[in-house]
């Protein structure tokens, strides 16, 4: 995360709760979601205000970090892309500056069998496609 926060509270539990609430409200992360076009696109986004480039690589593009670059950053430091995906279960990671592979902080993850984790998303087969947690 690219957030630096300094807080002092008398109640030790209040600081972490307020920090988590601030991150939630700010929308620092959003899980992949249908793009609303009805064409089966899934929108991926991540906050990375200091990045020069961001891409999404996964089982849907043979893990090619050049296949789906994200546009951005916007004024909030967010990068985004919509990827047309048929129904199925997909594993993926974001690739920052071509060398740093990171999990999607807003999506569930699974063990990839190599001692690492991959983010995961399932695209449903109906008109109201939405992310499902496996």
Question: Where exactly are the structural domains of the chain?
Answer: 29-123
Taking a C-beta distance cutoff of 8 angstroms, is the pair 76, 47 a contact?
A: yes
Question: According to the model, what pLDDT value does residue 55 have?
Answer: 98
- What CA–CA distance (Å, rounded) separates 133 from 109? 9
- What CA–CA distance (Å, rounded) separates 82 from 45? 9
Pairing of strands 88-96, 117-123: antiparallel
- What CA–CA distance (Å, rounded) separates 129 from 13? 38
Question: According to the model, what pLDDT value does residue 8 have?
Answer: 44
**Length of the chain in terms of residues written:** 134
Question: According to the model, what pLDDT value does residue 126 have?
Answer: 57
Taking a C-beta distance cutoff of 8 angstroms, is the pair 34, 7 a contact?
A: no
Question: According to the model, what pLDDT value does residue 22 have?
Answer: 36
Superfamily of domain 29-123: Immunoglobulins (2.60.40.10)
Is the model's pTM score more than 0.85?
no
Q: What is the DSSP letter of 70?
A: P
Supply 118's token pair.
């991959």
* Sequential pLDDT tens for the chain (134 residues): 443 333 344 445 544 444 443 333 334 444 555 544 445 589 999 999 999 999 999 999 999 999 999 999 999 999 999 999 999 999 999 999 999 999 999 999 999 999 999 999 999 875 544 444 44
């Amino acid at each position: 995360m690219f957030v630096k926060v300094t807080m002092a509270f008398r109640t030790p539990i209040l600081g972490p709760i307020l920090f988590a609430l601030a991150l939630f409200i700010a929308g620092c992360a959003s899980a992949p979601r249908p793009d609303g076009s009805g064409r089966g696109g899934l929108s991926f986004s991540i906050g990375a205000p200091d990045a020069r480039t961001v891409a999404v690589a996964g089982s849907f593009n043979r893990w090619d970090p050049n296949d789906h670059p994200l546009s951005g950053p916007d004024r909030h430091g967010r990068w985004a892309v919509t990827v047309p995906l048929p129904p199925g279960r997909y594993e993926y990671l974001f690739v920052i500056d071509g060398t740093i592979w990171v999990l999607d902080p807003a999506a569930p993850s699974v063990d990839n069998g190599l001692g690492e984790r991959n983010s995961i998303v399932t695209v449903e087969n109906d008109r109201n496609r939405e992310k499902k947690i496996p």
